[in-house]
Structure 1
């Protein structure tokens, strides 16, 4: 652990992104059983990635179709702006974030420890945009991420069953209920990441043993 810390200290911020980018992602033909995923969730001050900020990050690795709770992480982020009315949604207030971690420190851990992982999020477009812009702010550039979207996968699954997809049907709590999964506290980064991991595993099980990453990418479009 001390060696890793010293190594990171000597590594420039731009090199962190470069190393992440140089790590190959699994081929599209890789079976999902052999793919390492990282379910993650962000809590935000708003929905505009150019103007708003990340206030907490939670992630949960999934390896060989098993959740690795020992590697799950949750961090509060020291925000450069007041959370304002967004506290109504995520329950975090300025005084709690005052002692939070620096965003660059958390992103360094994320990019260093999970290079080559396929990231998973519920409504991944928003998380990917915020991550990309956060990396640009912290490191001067952003890597290319690979994301699987459990919300879009669920939408595709329901459409193929010929079901009418109502307005709230694709929200994470609704998806968990539909898959008979435990209900979690909404808008807590770690719990939402864990819920996303559970939903992914349920979706993979329903998809059968022959699913590949290519199939997931198609379902996430």
Structure 2
């Protein structure tokens, strides 16, 4: 029993420390040469300390190309009922009983995408839930580096001298503004794909010499 526990602890430590020790691209790296992972989470609520992830979708971007072959979508077996959140994401408790354990999904995420810059629309919430999920699963959480497409869009509009209303920063509104297809909201994979499309459009508008440091500045 002790040997099994020790092996599991080492496995957990290796997953988190392996991700945390992988060096991200330098700030002066061109965005066109950088690797990104657009992701989205569906949740039981908005409080990371009490609520849980019920689905996750992600789409890698390498050298400004979406790698659809590696896109993933998982339903997560939640320890609590989805409750009223089902109104938004359409997932119900009976579906999630067949879902995957969050630790398995996080292990895949941290192992395969170490060194990637993560991307989300309104990334603060996704980052908080990922960190809490890692702490619940592994006992500790690495630091994630996120680019927030909502913040990038806000900064872009401000620099154009436009008055930015709250609704203007919704993912669907941003997609329309960039002439991109608008898909149904609150499906983790579709939202991750939409976020990836939005990021690529924002990067093109940023010009060929745009660096990660430039992007991080827009994302603050």
Same fold (TM over 0.5): yes
Aligned to 1:189: 188
Runs of 4+ in 1 over 4 A off after TM superposition: 8-11
Q: Counterpart of 1:35?
A: 34
The alpha-carbon deviation at position 13 of structure 1 amounts to 1.1
Find out whether 1:149 has 2:148 as its counterpart.
Answer: yes
Question: 1:10, CA displacement in angstroms?
Answer: 9.5
For residues 125 and 29 of structure 2, the distance between their equivalents in structure 1, rounded to whole angstroms, comes to 26
SS in 1 for 2:60: strand
Cα distance in structure 2, aligned partners of 1:11 and 1:214? 35
Q: Measure how far apart 1:12 and its partner are.
A: 1.4
* 3-state SS in 2 of match to 1:135: helix
Give the Cα–Cα distance (whole angstroms) in 2 for the partners of residues 126 and 220 of structure 1: 14
After TM superposition, the structure 1 = structure 2 runs for residues 54-133 of structure 1, keeping only pairs within 5 Å, are 54-133=53-132
> Counterpart of 1:200 in 2: which secondary structure?
helix
What is the RMSD of the two structures over their aligned residues, measured on CA atoms?
Answer: 1.2
Structure 1, unaligned stretches of length 5 or more? 1-7
- Any idea what SS the aligned residue of 2:38 has? strand
- Which sections of structure 2, spanning at least 5 residues, go unmatched? 1-6
Q: Give yes or no for contact 1:179–1:202 (8 Å, CA) kept in 2.
A: yes
Quote the residue 2:198 is aligned against. 199
How many residue pairs match? The answer is: 214
TM normalised by structure 1 equals 0.95
Contact preservation (8 Å) 1:36, 1:63: yes
**Whole-angstrom distance in 2 between the partners of 1:62 and 1:11:** 31
1:3 aligned partner:
none
| Deviation for aligned residue 1:14 | 2.0
- For residues 61-88 of structure 1, the C-alpha deviation after alignment (integer angstroms, 9 at most, x for no partner) is 0000000000000000000000000000
- In the superposition, the TM-score normalised over structure 2's length comes to 0.95
1:166 maps to which residue? 165
